[in-house]
Amino acid sequence: MSKSLLAFAVSLLLASVVPWAPSAAQNKAVEVDNAWARATPGKAETGAAYVTLKAASADRLIGAATPVAKKAELHTMTMEDGVMKMRPLTGIDLPAGQAVTLKPGAMHIMLLGLTAPLHAGQSFPVTLQFEKAGTETVNVSVEQIGAMGPQGEGDGHMSMPMPAHH
pLDDT tens-digit profile of 24-62? 334 479 999 999 999 999 899 999 999 999 999 999 999
Is residue 163 scored above 80 in pLDDT? no
The Cα 87–Cα 74 span in angstroms is: 9
Confidence of residue 101 (pLDDT cuts 50, 70, 90): very high
Closest by CA position to 124, among listed 40, 28, 27, 30:
40
The Cα 117–Cα 158 span in angstroms is: 22
Closest by CA position to 140, among listed 97, 99, 108, 106:
108
The Cα 114–Cα 109 span in angstroms is: 13
The domain limits of the chain are 29-143
Q: What is the pTM of this model?
A: 0.75
The Cα 103–Cα 109 span in angstroms is: 9
Report, as an integer, the average pLDDT of 68-75. Answer: 98
DSSP letter (8 states) at residue 161: P
What pLDDT, in 10s, does the model give residues 116-162? 999 999 999 999 999 999 999 999 999 999 999 987 654 433 333 33
* Cα dist from 163 to 26, 37, 48, whole Å: 47, 31, 34
Is residue 22 scored above 50 in pLDDT? no
Confidence of residue 19 (pLDDT cuts 50, 70, 90): very low
DSSP letter (8 states) at residue 149: S
DSSP letter (8 states) at residue 89: -
Q: How many CB atoms lie within 10 A of CB 65?
A: 15
Contacts of residues 85-92 at CB distance under 8 Å and 24 or more positions apart, as own/partner, are 86/110, 90/62, 91/60, 91/61, 91/62, 91/131, 92/53, 92/60, 92/61
Is residue 63 scored above 60 in pLDDT? yes
Is residue 93 scored above 60 in pLDDT? yes
The topology under which CATH files domain 29-143 is Immunoglobulin-like (2.60.40)
